[in-house]
Structure 1
Amino acid sequence: MSDFVFEQLGLTSRETKLYQTLLKLGPTSIRDIASHSGINRGSAYESLKELQAKGVVSYFPKGKRRFFMAESPEILLNLAQERKQRLEKTIETLKHTVIPDLIQSQPKLHHTDVRYYEGDDGIEWVLRDILNVVSQQDHKEYCVFSSKPIRPYLYRPFPTYTKQRVKLGINVKVIALGDGGEDAELSQRKWIKTEGAVDASYIAIYPPKCAIISLARENFPSAVVLESNDIAKAQQIIFDTLWRLL
């Protein structure tokens, strides 16, 4: 029988061994319990008291001695249910009281969290982050600056990205640098005409974050994600201003 299950119920390995021993022996004196379990009498007695407090073991007097007996194994399910209820209450307290209080106690520093990602796995993480962040906002929309050379590499690791975005009801505004780009559902697009080729670049503004994706040598994609309300708001103002002018 797995000790892990008993550990999850709050029983130590010694308590588990004593409980299993009592189940096999039936009502038993402390001397016989110690003998059959291989645990010395002093330690066995202390653990039996703990088991009694947990409701797993009971005792009755017989002459001048105490005889201990294990409760029915169904009691273990009761222990599990009680621990589950306590954990659920703890989670609710964390969500609604403890975590908000801890956040309030933090100094209001205007810092920028910067993270770097590389390769197809990194780009997929960034794209999924955009969907996760925007889908939780009341106004489900983000903005993008995008150039044609980046597009073949952008959705390569996540070909169903647009379908997932539409499914989540997320709108996107795109300012395309140079030619290209396809119309898609829940998408608006405007263009900045350029002379000559443009470099591969993609900037997504999804407050409180901005993601910058580019290509390194041999078309190796990399990304930087900045988490800063101040930076995201400044980028949003730039985008909105330019959008109105186009």
Structure 2
Amino acid sequence: MKYDSLQQIGLDKREIKIYRALLRLGPASIRDVATEAGVNRGSTYETLKQLATKGVVNYLPRGKRRVFQAEEPEQLLQLGERRQQALSQAMEQLRTEVIPELKQSQGKFSPGNVRFYEGDDGVELVLRDILDSTASDPERGYSVISTKTLREHLYRPFPNFTRQREARGIRVRVLAVGEGGDEAEYAERKWLPAPDTSDASYIAIYPPKVAMITLAEKNYPVVVIIDSAAIASTQQILFNTLWELL
């Protein structure tokens, strides 16, 4: 039986082992639980206290000693619901308070604003970042300059990128360098003439970020992301100007 879901609601492997041992035993002493679970007595006692705090174990007196017993497994659902509620509250606080406060204290620009990636994993990271960033932006759009020589390699690690973009209603304007390029929903395209042998390049402008992809030897992708509102704004002005001229 898989217990990933129990770990997701906040139980570690030792807690799961001891909870299951207690379910098998019924009310039991620390020594009996430790023996059944195969965990030393000291760790068993600390774990039982943690489980009691989480509401899935309780204890009761038996003579001069204390014995522990497991709550019904349905109690795990309540533990998961409490954890989900706490996570929702934390996410809302992150969104409305913590992140705005941290961004105010953030320096305008630093070496950390430039990130380098390699390979298909780096390309996929950029494409997912474009979707996530533009989906939360009121404009829900971004701009791209892409050469023909790079297009065949771009979606290799993320073949359903376009379908996901369309499903989210994200718009894109593409300046295609060289012929080709498929039509798609929420996409506008204009072409710039270029020879088929032009260098591979892909530039995505999604303020406050600009992502650039090129190919090294043997078509190995190299990726740079610049997180700078100033650079993104300048690139957007250049893009818009060229777009209007075509």
What is the TM-score with the length of structure 1 in the denominator? 0.69
Residue pair 2:30, 2:68 contacting (<8 A) in 1 also: no
Q: Which residue of 1 aligns with 2:173?
A: 173
Structural mapping, 1:202-217, within 5 Å: 202-217=202-217
- 1:202 is displaced (CA, Å) by 1.0
- Determine the C-alpha separation between the residues in 2 that align with 1:146 and 1:165: 17
- Determine the C-alpha separation between the residues in 1 that align with 2:107 and 2:220: 35
Q: Which amino acid in structure 2 is aligned with residue 102 of structure 1?
A: V
Structural mapping, 1:177-216, within 5 Å: 177-194=177-194, 197-216=197-216
Q: Which residue of 2 aligns with 1:111?
A: 109
Structural mapping, 1:228-243, within 5 Å: 228-243=228-243
- Determine the C-alpha separation between the residues in 2 that align with 1:117 and 1:52: 45
- Determine the C-alpha separation between the residues in 2 that align with 1:52 and 1:129: 41
Residue pair 1:23, 1:69 contacting (<8 A) in 2 also: no
Q: Does 1:102 align with 2:98?
A: yes
- Residues 20, 234 of structure 1: CA spacing in aligned structure 2 closer, same or farther, 3 A cutoff? same
Post-superposition CA distance 1:174-223 (Å, at most 9, x none)? 11224443433322122233579532111011122211111112322211
Q: Does 1:57 align with 2:51?
A: no
| Cα RMSD after superposing both structures | 4.2
Q: Does 1:90 align with 2:86?
A: yes
- 1:100 is displaced (CA, Å) by 4.2
Residue pair 1:22, 1:70 contacting (<8 A) in 2 also: no
Give unmatched runs, 5+ long, in structure 2.
Answer: 36-41
- Determine the C-alpha separation between the residues in 2 that align with 1:231 and 1:138: 20
Q: Which amino acid in structure 2 is aligned with residue 170 of structure 1?
A: I
State the SS of the aligned residue for 1:129. helix
1:8 to 11, 26, 34: 11
- Determine the C-alpha separation between the residues in 1 that align with 2:72 and 2:159: 51
Report the count of equivalent residues.
Answer: 228
Residue pair 1:52, 1:58 contacting (<8 A) in 2 also: no
State the SS of the aligned residue for 2:26. helix
State the SS of the aligned residue for 1:56. strand
- 1:224 is displaced (CA, Å) by 0.9
Residue pair 1:135, 1:168 contacting (<8 A) in 2 also: yes
Q: Which residue of 1 aligns with 2:144?
A: 144
Q: Which amino acid in structure 1 is aligned with residue 11 of structure 2?
A: Q
Name which one, 1 or 2, has greater alpha-carbon Rg. 1
Post-superposition CA distance 1:104-126 (Å, at most 9, x none)? 15514212522222222322332
Residue pair 1:19, 1:57 contacting (<8 A) in 2 also: no
Residue pair 2:210, 2:226 contacting (<8 A) in 1 also: yes
State the SS of the aligned residue for 1:204. strand
- Determine the C-alpha separation between the residues in 1 that align with 2:190 and 2:21: 74
Post-superposition CA distance 1:43-92 (Å, at most 9, x none)? 8xx98x959886712226xxxx5365555x444643x3553344234323
* Identical counterparts, % of pairs: 35
